[in-house]
Structure 1
Amino acid sequence: MPSNEKQMEELAVYRTADSEGSPRAVGSIEEREVFGDDKNHQIKYRTLSWPFVAMIMITEIVTGGTLTLPQALAVVGIVPGLILIIFCGVFALFTSLILIDFKINHPEVHNMGDAGYIIFKPFGLGAVGREVLSFGTLLFAITAVGATALLGQEALTTLSSSRLCLMLYTGIFSIPILLCALPRTLNTGLSWFSMVACLSVFIACIVAMAGSAAEPTPNRVVSVTVPSNFYTAFLSITNPVIAYAGHFMFFPLISEMHTPRDAKKAAWCLQTFATAFYAVFAVVTYCYLGSNVQNPSLLSLSPKWAKAAWGLFLPNILIAGSLYNHTAAKIVFVRLFRGSKHLHDHTVTGWLSWIGLVLLMNAAGFVLAVGVPIFAYLCGIAAALFASWYTYGLAGAFWWHDVYYLEGGWPALKRRWFMYVIAILTILAGAFICVAGLYAIIKSLVIAYADGSVGSPFSC
């Protein structure tokens, strides 16, 4: 690493250098903000308050992943499963606070691609870091659109007693996902819809727990701990890991806040609610449905309780899918038009581009969901490759980068040696989750092909 004087000189260059397509890192806070000082613009992005951001975060995180947790407890047992849920929640809170600090230090960051440009720039790999993390963000968001469409398919199938082809249900549900994602700013639609979505997931899960208690599984087996091999255990561990995998949306959300520093209040609200809610739902549902609980867990309820729970869950699934769709489109839109009038004003080019991007992301999610027989495994691979880093591992790199380059180099790191060690462990944890997750998902895919459980594309 460079000496202090050389390091400060490099830092000055780093703070003023720019390259094609990259956010600028100079000027006042307002000038460096993604959407600038948009008070005089026709389209105003920076209007979100922290309570709305908290509700958006809850909507996009506390959704379908919740329904996978009872099965995770069935695989490893109540005690290991509960410890894992709480640990992941605390870890996710820790990393989210670091991400928020990084965003505050770098107002020009709009997404993980921008952040990748910054942390890899000192190593001469800024462009590579930007493209890799941008690709991962888009892939994860698009697969999330497809996953929520399939979850909507499950809901509509249950509510209608399977009267139509499954692919039609997916297409039907994709339409409202598209329409709700169309407003250009989060505060003109999705933030308000998120209020309903938060209430939706809360009431739906309460009804699901009531249904499992009213009609529990006869002769069910409930275990405190369950012995299992590494592959089986880690495959189940991916459920709680993915249940907290929403950090890739934090940068775009904070970019549309009128007071970005308040994002920490939203993060505390999100992780406290999510961790407590996950723990209660997973334990109660598992205790009443037993070791044979399905994934998603609502499929294990009796028909009347399943219909009630799925019906109440629909608004949350819909708005979560729209948020993923909106985020994927917004990342590309900002990349194309950052600093131009098309970003802030009602221009024909701006609106046609925005609508086209929303349609493209929606169509991509739908095609992947119904056209790729291994879509569920693709979602797992995307989560292992990118969510492991976005939610956990990269936070350590963000902390290390800002302390080293903004606070004085090695002396600053030595002064904060404990956090330095924690940052390294965070990076290693992200690497472990990534590698072990890929191993578990790919092995399960090989087994699925071997036993003939992989379906065909575009089938009912």
Structure 2
Amino acid sequence: MAGDKISMDNVRPVQSEDNIEAVEKGHLAENEFEVFKKGEGMVDFRTVTWYHAAMIFLKIIFATGVLSIPTAMYTLGALPGAINIICFTMLNGYCAIIQGNFRNRHAGCHSIADMAQLVGGPILKELVGFLFIAAYVICAGSGIIGVSAAFNALSNHALCTQWFAFIATVIVAIFASVRKFEKLAWLTWVGFISVFVAVLIIVCGVTTRDRPAIAPQVGPFDLGYRVVGHPGFIAGMTAVAAMFVSSAATAAFLPVISEMQRPKDYNKAVYVAMGIVTSAYLTFSLVVYKWCGKWVATPSLGSAGPTLKKVAYGVGIIGLAISACLYVHIGAKYLFVRILRKSRHLQSNSIIHWGTWLACTIGISIAGFLISSGIPIFNYLLGLAGTLCFAPVAISLPGWLWCYDHPHYWKGTLVQKSLYALHVFMIALGMFVTIGGTYAVIQAIIDAYASGQIGAAFDCADNSGTVLNS
């Protein structure tokens, strides 16, 4: 592929503290330091403002993951669940800052795979690139499940779910084919408001019922609310993976930096996005779990009864579709730049440019459709993305990036040594979540197939959490 090898003139390491404003680019002009250039006759990709970037980041994170958190909360219990939400959103936000700082020191890096090449060579680059693509194919699949569930809810399951998934895939592929993040920015505003309001409807709706919608409607029942849960390893790790992945898609922020007007404003955008995500996740999940306990539908938009389910999906379907579009666009943009980098076709309107771009978006959309049909349950699909793909890329690699830029800390003061050890621990933590979490999620999927919780691949069954109790 064109541009597989990054010129060290474009990604030269700079040893400095965590302050983007202090970065010295020396004799390298900023235009030459960036992946996307500005020039006459070129398509200008660098048009994203910081507040548009913040909204893109917010929509990337606040998406299908929020629909799986209440179920994970039941497994862990309210207190451990809340601690997991706070810790993982803070950790993922910090890792996003590490990645942004590293990218702005080595701005020839367009993606997390470019960073991996700089610190670990071409083999690590290929591995991380594969995990990046796999993650966003799986996330695209989760978005397609969300849209197909909305179609099922609104139509009372009028068609086979696979037809709804196919229709969702076509819609996603069309909108994901918009080339620039700037053109998607206004859609992210609409998408975030759509999902936020949909979840808020369910949060308010569950508090108005005498008992959860999918609980027995007569006689005594066990709500299942626990301050502290006592899950086994497989159930616990699967729930932790769902909590982690709900805010772990920070590697997707990196391609956006390359299209920002001022890459130095990246940190500001991350702080805004992750602050909103943390408060929203914590509030919504605790309220739904308090009122529904173990009787939470999957996805959680079905938890307040059939009427509010239709209202919530009617409001949220736009946001679910835009989430899937973003996931496809991010994965496709990585492949697109990887294939055409250092080629005149990267920023031209040539047939090769458009053919490559459309092939990338359509290909990832199709792969997402196939994944969504093979593992048609939110929690497991997102858990698999979190453990297998995001944990090594979003936790371990940022720890390595920080150590690469701060080698002198290992022999510095006690505080510096402690900071270095902390980032080495991040590498180990990511590996633990990857190995232990992937084992747990795969075993949970096997058990779900064996028990009939998951039907056959390409099953037509309703996936919207339909309940009969109004």
- Relative to the length of structure 1, the TM-score reads 0.89
Query: Residue 234 of structure 1: CA displacement?
Result: 1.8
Equivalent residue for 1:15? none
SS in 2 for 1:291: coil
Structure 2, unmatched stretches of 5+, are 11-27, 213-220, 461-470
Equivalent residue for 2:69? 69
Query: Residue 375 of structure 1: CA displacement?
Result: 9.3
Equivalent of 1:344 in 338, 344, 347: 347
Q: How big is each residue's C-alpha offset from its partner over 1:202-256, in whole Å with a ceiling of 9 and x where there is no partner?
A: 2111111111112252553422122222222222111110101211201111111
Equivalent residue for 2:208? 214
Aligned equivalents of 2:413 and 2:159: distance in 1? 60
Equivalent residue for 1:32? 33
Q: Which amino acid letter does the alignment assign opposite residue 206 of structure 1?
A: L
Query: Residue 381 of structure 1: CA displacement?
Result: 3.2
Q: Which amino acid letter does the alignment assign opposite residue 178 of structure 2?
A: P
- Relative to the length of structure 2, the TM-score reads 0.87
Question: How large is the RMSD of aligned CA atoms in angstroms?
Answer: 2.1
Equivalent residue for 2:467? none
Equivalent residue for 2:263? 260
Equivalent residue for 1:14? none
Equivalent residue for 2:280? 277
User: Does 1:185 find its partner at 2:180?
Assistant: yes
Query: Residue 413 of structure 1: CA displacement?
Result: 8.5
Q: Which amino acid letter does the alignment assign opposite residue 177 of structure 2?
A: L
Q: Which amino acid letter does the alignment assign opposite residue 138 of structure 2?
A: T
Q: How does 1:109-148 map to 2 (within 5 A)?
A: 109-120=109-120, 126-148=121-143
Equivalent residue for 1:391? 394
Q: How big is each residue's C-alpha offset from its partner over 1:2-47, in whole Å with a ceiling of 9 and x where there is no partner?
A: xxxxxxxxxxxxxxxxx962222316243231113x2434311111
Which is further off, 268-277 or 363-372?
A: 363-372
Aligned equivalents of 1:64 and 1:372: distance in 2? 15
CA contact (8 A) 2:41 2:348 kept: yes
CA contact (8 A) 2:75 2:236 kept: yes
Q: How does 1:26-175 map to 2 (within 5 A)?
A: 26=9, 28=28, 29-36=30-37, 38-120=38-120, 126-175=121-170
Distance 1:265 1:41, change over 3 A: farther
Aligned equivalents of 2:383 and 2:84: distance in 1? 18
Aligned equivalents of 1:288 and 1:373: distance in 2? 26
CA contact (8 A) 1:217 1:290 kept: no
Identical positions, percent: 28
Distance 1:42 1:216, change over 3 A: farther
CA contact (8 A) 1:44 1:185 kept: no
Equivalent residue for 1:9? none
Query: If each structure's helix is expressed as a fraction of its own residues, which one has the higher value?
Result: 1
Distance 1:56 1:393, change over 3 A: same
Equivalent residue for 2:22? none
Structure 1, unmatched stretches of 5+, are 1-18, 121-125
Which is further off, 158-167 or 377-386?
A: 377-386
User: Does 1:321 find its partner at 2:324?
Assistant: yes
Q: How big is each residue's C-alpha offset from its partner over 1:251-271, in whole Å with a ceiling of 9 and x where there is no partner?
A: 111111111111101110111
Q: How big is each residue's C-alpha offset from its partner over 1:253-306, in whole Å with a ceiling of 9 and x where there is no partner?
A: 111111111110111011111110000000111111122212221122211111
Q: Which amino acid letter does the alignment assign opposite residue 313 of structure 1?
A: G
Distance 1:372 1:342, change over 3 A: same
Q: How does 1:235-384 map to 2 (within 5 A)?
A: 235-371=238-374, 377=380, 380-384=383-387
Equivalent residue for 2:197? 203
Distance 1:41 1:251, change over 3 A: farther
Aligned equivalents of 2:77 and 2:378: distance in 1? 28
Distance 1:373 1:72, change over 3 A: closer
Count of residue correspondences: 432
Equivalent residue for 2:14? none
